[in-house]
Amino acid sequence: HSFPTRRSSDLGGMIPETFTCDGPNHSPPLAWSGVPDSARSLVLICDDPDAPRGTWSHWVAFNLPIQLKGLKEGVPTDEKIPRAVMEGSPPAGEDLEAKQGKNDFGKTGYGGPCPPSGTHRYFFRIYALNSKLKLDSSATRAEVLKGIEGCILAEGRLMGKYERAAK
């Protein structure tokens, strides 16, 4: 099963500098639809399979509410994702458990593309799960991937590329 994801820039296109280490390093605006009715939470992972030392994690977010239709640009790098950056957030009063884990830069939240050389691919994956993850905000991509095994109802994927300009 898959559900479509889209972004404001072209699918598979170049990632604007705004969303990289060469710019303000903001997280990009993301949108999705078609979350299965039986889903209980969403997981978002951004990684770079072209990194020299193996797949590099740029963003890990989990326990996103199923009512969410996307995230606005510039999600703060806090452990909890605030309602203000959510598109289609759950009703007020409902406790939000949306968390950001650790990326491979060793920081919480989004860390944009910063390839050492060449053009790298960056995959943004969204997973609809039949449960919520019992992990804290120190969770890494590997821990989240282990936690979602056997729980994935649907997934969507978006790929963008980035190459740093010669300095």
Task: Return the bridge partners of 12, or none.
Answer: none
Please enumerate in sequence order all residues whose Cβ is within 8 A of that of 89, keeping only pairs 6 or more positions apart, or say none: 65, 67, 68, 83, 96
As a whole number, mean pLDDT of residues 58-82 equals: 95
Q: Per this entry, what is the length of the chain?
A: 167
pLDDT digits (tens, 9 = 90+) for 86-107: 998 666 666 678 999 999 999 9
pLDDT digits (tens, 9 = 90+) for 143-153: 999 999 999 99
Confidence of residue 10 (pLDDT cuts 50, 70, 90): very low
As a whole number, mean pLDDT of residues 112-137 equals: 95
Rounded distance between C-alpha atoms, residue 75 and residue 36, angstroms? 25
Confidence of residue 112 (pLDDT cuts 50, 70, 90): very high
